[in-house]
A and B are shown apart, each in its own frame.
Chain A
Amino acid sequence: MSKLLEMRGITKRFPGTVALDDVSISLDGGEILALMGENGAGKSTLMKVLSGIHQMDEGEIVIEGEQMHFSGPLDARAKGIAIVHQELSIFPHMTVAENVMANRQPSSGGFVKNAALNEEATKYLLELGVNINPRTRAGSLNTSHQQLIEIARAISMNPKILIMDEPTSSLSDKEIDKLFEILLDLKKKGLGIIYISHKMKEILTLADRITVLRDGKYSGDLARAEATEAEIIRLMVGRDSHFVFPPKSDAGPTKPLLSVRHLSCGDKVKDVSFEVEEGKILGLFGLMGAGRTESARTIYGLEGKYGGEIEMDGKVVAIRTPGDAIKEGLAYLPEDRKQDGLFLGMPVKDNIVANILKKVSPNGIVNEKIINDDATQMVAKFQIKVPTVATKVSSLSGGNQQKVLLAKYYKAEPRVLFIDEPTRGIDVGAKSEIHRQLRELANSGKAVVVISSELIEVMGLSDKIVVMCEGRVTGAVTGDQMNESNIMTLATKFLDSTAQEA
């Protein structure tokens, strides 16, 4: 009998990179296949090819012995492929029911049947153990409910192949248990499920088989019986996991540079307190929607008015704008480099000096020589791979772009550096270089705050981790307590059903 799904020799090129290079995977009906790999390994791209969003350059997709040609998501859906995307794809202005049944509302003669629409949506949501009024606007729900809506959307398509790309990134333990129950049930019914996650525990309990990708290539297959965490990591990074992160700080407690006390802002940051010590790396961890990025943005003056206090060197400071924050010695490297951090169309050198224009312009006139010297020095220090400092940033790889951003903020001589998702979409080599540079910054007496949703990265990098959930700090871990289960317990503390706010 032919396999439910075979993807053979899939190659996908994007301008400047090969995202997938001759990747083959297969899936049986009634099987849960875990797809693993680091960020940028190509998992999501492979799934986008399978669900018709990207078109492959080479290779073939065969479902139940039949060769497929998908020219769009509708084609893939027609062949029984449903996907829950990593990025939330909620329609915030529309009702829960319209979200679950997006563009597939029950209708007669072109008119949507509202009663049936709400009934159908409620049915699928209840299957997931979620009781939400189907007429609620999806935008008013919290992230975990939004994620559940998307899962309901995928299941409601009655697919043959269900793809889940990090579906649990903002779910509580209870919600995850419920989801797993459903997945195992679907599996019994003969569905093939492809499951992408970074959480080892989930993979090892759920998956029948694990396929690992590395740098856009097939790296290996493990049956559940032979899979161990160490083995998976070895396949993911291609070497032993011990060497991945730079050594941590061996200094004892140092003096706090930045103290945040009872910080609150809007409904995303509630009574947040933590201290950032000199020469240390602090990890700020939480699930999607936990408020970690919002906390950093508040401290950096991007969210306007806040409650509580921000102290530098034990002195209360008032930060109303990013300008104030920079004056106090803070720097914030945003999550979305391209959108918020870099001037893509401008040369590397102009990006590097963007925060110190005054310094490079004696008497108000821009001095090209100073800029060139400064930029050249930074390119060497951060090992940015560019032909010249006049190269446009848009032509650099993700890793080098991130280094340009690091250099830019380094030039502003911050004392506390916030960096949001420092290695998202960056290849493995550049990743460990950036880790090393962050550690060097800390060793040179600065304080670094790493915000990341990647648990492995936060644990490997930080001297201490502050964990957030639903806008609150739920605890801090250091040393021996810094393990996955402790951190996840803290990260899902308020996500239990009874305490849930609507």
Chain B
Amino acid sequence: METKTLEATNKTTFGEKLKKLFAVRELFMIILIVLALVVLTILSPNFLKRANLVSVMISLVPNAIIAIGMVMCLLEGTFDLSVGGVMAFTGTLVGVLMLKGFPIWAAIAITLLVGVVIGLINGFFIAKIHVHPLIVTYGMQRITRSAATILTGGYSIYGFDSKFGVMGSKYIWVLPLMVWFMFLLVVVFDILFRKTKYFRQAYYLGSNPNAALLSGIKVDSYKIQTFTLAAVCATIAGIVLASRIMAGTPTAGDGIEMQVLAAGVIGGCSMSGGEGTVIGCFLGVVFLALISNALTIMSVSQYWQGVVTGVILIAAVSIDMILKQRRSTLK
């Protein structure tokens, strides 16, 4: 039979293999993180101390959980700016409910339900009314942040049942439960996005929306489900944070949406959709957390931290763009 083979690509040289390996974003991220670890260890003797590493892990939990939902958005070429507000609102809501006398399980269940509703509202306006996600999710961010302030009168609220604090207080080995919970979610969702038919649809949708529609993907309802997952992730992050600090703070998660977006892009998500993984985005979160930790322990002024993270973000994405262009012209 007359066939066309791709034998040429099977006979790869060592150099090409190396290049391919580097093309896997996760590996690039791990190298970047190891590099950051080495530099940080040299710069600061305090860095490698267990207490410091554990506190870094704890600090990145909300970002990592929110990243899962954000990856789904990014895969479809969109984003959700409401996650910070949603996290603050649900984090205070769960506390208010408990103070009102709801049992812990009921408070959590109701809060999760509220998260689902917020996601459905976002999704409805985006998919059905065709309002741009920037407007809808920014609007929702303002609404939820405001609602959190109204709910608490502008102050943090305290005094929950100590059982609620299990996420931060219970340790398995050296890490608190919340960190294990985060790992579990990240690993499970990474597998789901790689392996299940349902989540693969996000890749189809982002890679070619028109063709996705033609292949029978229910684009509208899938979009709504996407924003629902994003909001639920933010809600889980809100509850976990409240459990850890045993308080509901209306200012929690300020600016987290942009941090997670940046982490996603650094971790290999394309803003135009079709590319990215949960692990990649998670590694992006870890990398940014390390940088932020480094700035703190090297006592870089708070004023300067924005400059450093901004420069790193632009540099990381620029390097990626340059590598990509080179790859496509060399092809």
- Chain B residues contacting A89 (CB-CB under 8 Å) are 208, 210-211, 214-215
Closest CB-CB distance, A494 to chain B, in whole Å? 13
Contact A92 B207 (CB under 8 A): yes
Provide the B106-118 mask, 1 if CB < 8 A to any CB of A, else 0.
0000000000000
Q: Which of B19-51 contact A (CB under 8 A)?
A: none
Contact: A103 with B196, CB < 8 Å? no
Are B216 and A94 touching (Cβ within 8 A)?
Answer: no
Bin chain A's interface residue count.
35 or more
**Counting CB contacts under 8 A, is A93 at the interface?**
yes
Q: A133-B9, A136-B9 are in contact. Are A112 and B196 (CB under 8 A)?
A: yes
- Name A's interface SS: loop
Residues of chain B within 8 A (CB-CB) of A114 are 195
Task: Say whether B304 faces chain A, with CB atoms less than 8 Å apart.
Answer: no
Chain A residues near B3 (CB-CB < 8 A) = 126, 129-131, 497
B331 — nearest CB in chain A belongs to which residue?
Answer: A267
C-alpha gap A93/B207 in the complex (Å): 6
A111, B196: Cβ atoms under 8 Å? yes
Q: Are A92 and B2 in contact (CB-based, < 8 A)?
A: no
Bound-state Cα–Cα, A133 to B6, Å: 7
CB–CB B275/A93 < 8 A: yes
- Could you give, for residues 109-150 of chain A, a 1 whenever the CB lies within 8 Å of some chain B CB and a 0 otherwise? 011101000000000001001111100100010000100000
Majority-rule SS of B interface residues: helix
Stretch from A72-80, A281-289, A341-349, A462-470 at the B interface: A72-80
Chain B residues with CB below 8 A from A107, complex form: 196-197
Interface residues of B in 150-170 (CB under 8 A from A): none
Are B211 and A102 within 8 A (Cβ)? yes
B201 at the interface (CB under 8 A from A): yes
Contacting A at CB under 8 A, from B208-247, are: 208, 210-217
- Tell me how far the C-beta of B95 lies from the nearest C-beta in chain A, rounded to whole angstroms: 36
Cβ-defined contact, A92 with B4, below 8 A:
no
- State which of A94, A132, A136, A267 has its C-beta within 8 Å of the C-beta of B204: A94
Indicate if B280 sits at the interface (CB-CB under 8 A). no
**Which residues of B179-219 are within 8 A (CB) of A?**
195-198, 200-201, 203-204, 206-208, 210-217
B97: shortest Cβ distance to chain A, in Å?
33
Q: Which of A74, A91, A133, A502 contacts B211 (CB 8 A)?
A: A91
| Pair A94/B203 contact, Cβ less than 8 Å | yes
Chain B residue at minimal CB-CB distance from A105: B197
Q: Tell me the residues in window 88-118 of chain B with beta carbons closer than 8 Å to chain A beta carbons.
A: none
Beta-carbon contacts under 8 Å, B299-331 to A: 329, 331
Which B residues between 239 and 271 are near A, CB-CB below 8 angstroms? none
User: Which B residues touch A74, using CB under 8 A?
Assistant: 216
- With a cutoff of 8 Å between Cβ atoms, the chain B residues found around residue A93 in the complex are 203, 206-207, 274-275
Instruction: Tell me whether A85 is interfacial, beta carbon within 8 Å.
Output: yes
- A158-201 vs B, Cβ < 8 Å mask (1 yes, 0 no): 00000000000000001000100000000000000000000000
B214:A91 contact, CB within 8 angstroms = no
Any A CB within 8 A of the CB of B5: yes
Q: Is the CB of B208 within 8 A of A105?
A: no
Check B1 for interface membership: any CB of A closer than 8 A. Answer: yes
Residue of B nearest to A85 (CB): B214
Q: Give the Cβ gap from B131 to chain A, nearest Cβ, in Å.
A: 19
| Min CB gap A24→B, angstroms | 25
B8 is an interface residue with CB less than 8 A from chain A:
yes
Closest CB pairs A-B (n = 9): A89-B211, A93-B274, A91-B207, A131-B3, A74-B216, A102-B215, A93-B207, A502-B6, A103-B215
A to B CB contacts below 8 Å, 21 in the list: A73-B213, A83-B214, A85-B214, A89-B208, A91-B212, A102-B215, A103-B204, A103-B212, A107-B197, A111-B197, A112-B195, A114-B195, A126-B3, A131-B5, A133-B10, A136-B6, A145-B4, A174-B2, A267-B329, A502-B6, A502-B8
Beyond contacts A53-B214, A497-B3: 4 other A-B pairs, Cβ-Cβ < 8 A, are A90-B211, A111-B195, A131-B5, A131-B6
